[in-house]
Amino acid sequence: MSTIQQNLQDVRSRIAAAAQRCARAPEEVVLLAVSKTKPVAAIAEAIAAGQHAFGENYVQEGVDKIQHFAQLPEGAGLEWHFIGPLQSNKSKLVAENFAWCHTLERQRIAQRLNDQRPAGMPPLNVLIQINISDEQSKSGIVLGELPALAEAVAALPNLRLRGLMAIPAPEADYQRQLAVFGQMHKAFLALKQRYQQVDTLSMGMTDDMAAAIAAGSTMVRIGTAIFGARDYSQA
Ligand SMILES: *Cc1c(COP(=O)(O)O)cnc(C)c1O
């Protein structure tokens, strides 16, 4: 078995164990494999091990990979998620190529994605990114801004509001991870109450997936634990 196959099995077991510890079904947590900076050969190995949902952070790199796999039999049924910061001049490529965008934070970009989504493609699934704890980061909106942005997004026919996403500030302590993720879960439940199509809470990465799952995450975004450390010097 290859390293990536073994890693995927380990990550799936960790997800299942974290879910079982809090009496959740493992199937409630979708595994998104974050393949940014990794070659198509690594993605092909993950596909061979049964993985079909992939997350990419850089628009052009993601589009190149999407187009590569679109021509191959093993590319059938893959689902591509854009999870990086989105500039308005790249919104068209995201609208034309991805199935999901996790990092929506501005009404103007929502409008552009809506207008640029090609006719004949299903609505783009979107998550609103919340800046839940990282004051250093400029990504995401504060919770107070959520009702207005959610309402604007929900009114756009070519977007489908599916939920929320967060990247909390790195925090080694499990209880503190849990407290931050808990705030996200509360906001998610309120949003779900108001919009029936909301079903996705994207939170949890390699170093905090167990706390995210305990707090109610429905989608973890895992890179390092599957593909190994990233080498940015090649990028
Ligand atoms: C890189 C990245 C991940 C994966 O992080 P790991 O710690 O490698 O699991 C998840 N989410 C986002 C938004 C990322 O940019």
Read off the tokens for 216.
């109610």
Q: Which residue, judged by its Cα, is nearest atom 13 of ligand 1? A: 83
pLDDT computed for residue 141 by the predictor? 97
Nearest residue to 178 (alpha-carbon basis) of 146, 148, 133: 133
* pLDDT for position 131: 97
C-alpha dist (Å) from residue 30 to 60, 80, 201: 25, 13, 10
The per-residue pLDDT for 2 is 85
**Which one of 206, 221, 232 would you pick to mutate in the ligand 1 pocket, going by the greatest count of ligand atoms within 8 A of its CB?**
221
The residues near 119 (Cβ < 8 Å, ≥ 6 apart) are: none
* Protein residues whose CB sits closer than 6 Å to any atom of ligand 1: 34, 36, 57, 83, 167, 205-207, 221-225
Find the 146 Cα to ligand 1 centroid distance in Å: 23
- Which pLDDT value is given to residue 1? 77
Please write the tens of the pLDDT for every residue from 81-123.
999 999 999 999 999 999 999 999 999 999 999 999 999 999 9
| Predicted local distance difference test score (pLDDT) of residue 234 | 56
Residue 60 alpha carbon to ligand 1 centre in Å: 18
- Virtual torsion, Cα 206, 189, 162, 144, nearest 10 deg: -90
Q: Answer yes or no: are the C-beta atoms of 152 and 117 closer than 8 Å.
A: no
Domains of the chain and any CATH numbers:
3-234 (3.20.20.10)
pLDDT along the chain (235 residues), means of 10: 94 98 97 98 97 98 98 96 97 98 98 98 98 88 97 98 97 97 98 98 98 98 96 69
Tell which one of 32, 34, 131 to mutate to probe ligand 1, the residue whose CB is within 8 A of the most ligand atoms.
Answer: 34
Q: Ligand 1 centroid to 53 CA: how many Å?
A: 14
